[in-house]
Each structure stands twice: as structure tokens, then as C-alpha cells.
Amino acid sequence: MTGKIVILTGAGLSAESGLGTFRDKDGIWTQHSLEDVATPEGFARDPALVHGFYNARRVQAAKASPNAAHHALARLQQEWKAPVVIVTQNVDGLHEAAGAEVVHMHGRLAGALCHRCAHRWDAPPEMSPDDPCPACRQPATRPDVVWFGEVPYHMEAIVAHLSDSDLFVAIGTSGQVYPAAGFVAEAAQAGAETLEINLERTDISGAFEAHRLGPASEVVPAWVESLLPRDG
Ligand code: OAD
């Protein structure tokens, strides 16, 4: 395989950096109600609660460091002779901290968005419902993350990448949230090989041709090593 690689990453990639996943035992959705903190309706009901949830995650993400899996993917992107497109559902900045360029389909904790005028700016560590938008001055600021019921970002570009990929790899994602969970089928339809890297099998494992099971910090560097020529 020497062609274009599209990689989808999820919370399992950052688990060994100390950031919680969503659906594992003790995952974020076992401690918080998804409807309250990750929907536009929840934000309309109680913006302070939602800001508090993302403020805590922003502080935690800012303290975290990329692990060996993030570094290996950045190296693959730099050294592979064909394009390596990394699409992440993660809102942390750990891919960038490792030196990779990524498409943030679920937005970023580091971003703020005005829901009145759509202006975007860098989020301060703590956001609150009273913060005015720097452009329109309305107290209408929200984290620049995609909530349930909203359309993920960059979908047109992602679909185009899937349609001419030669290999599609999903890493550390449970395959329970669409449209990301449908990417493997789109890539396979376009003729790509498919590989799932995860701690355990997922509900959509059957859609992949190949699997590598284990912790991302071990399995991802080993997979990248198997693709890249040895140094020297
Ligand atoms: P999940 O929490 O649903 O799934 C994480 C996956 O990573 C599970 O399949 C775990 O088995 C696996 N995993 C855990 N630790 C791992 C490790 N060290 N190495 C490899 N794999 C590991 O997280 P996502 O699939 O990313 O969306 O969740 C998708 C979306 O649902 C998120 O972006 C978020 C969430 O609700 C929104 O908030 C809109």
C-alpha cells in the first residue's frame, strides 16, 4: 500500500494521555447527561452548566500531553509519500501538539463561537454565559464544539477525501456516533482497504477488513513502523 491514507481518531487515542473516553466504564457519559451538556437544547436551558462542563475539560486538556500514538501519526503524516489526512472527533489539541495537521470534525475546546453572528475566536480558559462576543458584543458565546443534533464540520471535504482514499483507518473510536461511524462504509465503497485499531472490538468491527487490538500508544507506533521504511 503506497497511496492516500485517511485516519479517523476518537477518544481512545487520548485515553493514555489521561483524558477520559465517553462510553467506557467511568466514561464521561456515565458521569454527565449528554442531553444536558452536549445538545443545543441543553445549552439553551442552562448555559452556565454547559460552560462549566467544557471549562473543566479545557483545563484538563491544556494540562495533557500527546502520547506515543499522537506522535506516531504525526510522523506518518510527515514521512509518508502520499497524503495522510487525519480527521478527529476529539476536541482536545493533542494531534497539533504532536505536530500533526488535523481536521476537527467535532470542533475544538480551544475555540469560541458566537451563536448570534458566527464569529470565531480563541477561547479563554474559562468561558461564561455573560461573555460578550468580540465582534457583535452580544452575550452569545459558546464553545466551538459540535453538539448532538448539529452537523459536524468539514463534511464536504471529508467525504471527498474518503472517496479517493486507498486506506481508511479508525483508531480509538467506538463507532456509535454518526456520521463518523459511517466513514468505513464510504471508504470501502470507494475501494479503500480498511483497518480498525482499538482496545477491543466495537459494534462496527465487522465493517473492517483488518483489525489490530490493544492500547493505542503501543499498537499505533507499531503499525506506523510497519508502513515506513526503517531509518538508515
Ligand atoms: P467513545 O468513548 O465512544 O469510544 C472510545 C473507544 O476507544 C472505545 O471503543 C474504547 O474501547 C477505545 N479505547 C479506550 N481506551 C483505548 C486505548 N488506550 N487505546 C485504544 N482504544 C481505546 O469515544 P468516541 O468514539 O470518540 O461527540 O466518541 C465519539 C463521539 O461521541 C465524541 O466525539 C463525542 C461523543 O459523544 C460529541 O460530544 C458530539
**d(C-alpha 113, C-alpha 116), whole Å:** 9
Which cell goes with 225? Answer: 513502523
Residue nearest to atom 4 of ligand 1 (CA): 174
- The closest residue, in CA terms, to atom 8 on ligand 1 is 174
Contact 150, 66 (CB under 8 A): no
What is the pLDDT at residue 189? Answer: 97
The radius of gyration computed from the CA coordinates of the chain, to the nearest angstrom, equals 18
Average pLDDT over the chain reads: 96
Given a cut of 90, whether residue 25 has pLDDT beyond it is no
For ligand 1, whether the C-beta of 203 sits within 6 Å is no
Residue 232 pLDDT greater than 60, yes or no: no
**pLDDT of 231 strictly over 90:** no
12 C-alpha to ligand 1 centroid (Å): 5
Which of 202, 165, 209, 163 minimizes the C-alpha distance to 181? Answer: 202
Q: Does residue 106 have an active-site annotation?
A: yes
Helix (H, G, I), strand (E, B) or coil at 167: strand
- Contact in structure between 14 and 199 (CB atoms under 8 Å): no
Model confidence, pTM: 0.97
Catalytic residue among 32, 106, 115, 154: 106
* 10 Cβ inside 6 Å of ligand 1: yes
| Residue 36 grid coordinates | 444536558
Ligand 1 site, residue 87, Cβ cutoff 6 A: no
Asked whether 67 lines ligand 1 (CB < 6 A), one says: no
Q: Look at residue 229 and tell me whether its pLDDT is greater than 90.
A: no
Q: Report the SS3 class of residue 120.
A: strand
Q: Tens of pLDDT along 40-94? A: 999 999 999 999 999 999 999 999 999 999 999 999 999 999 999 999 999 999 9
For 117-145, the pLDDT digits (tens) are 999 999 999 999 999 999 999 999 999 99
Strand (E) or helix (H) holding 143: strand 141-145
Place of cell 484538563: 60
For residue 112, give the H/E element and its range. strand 107-114
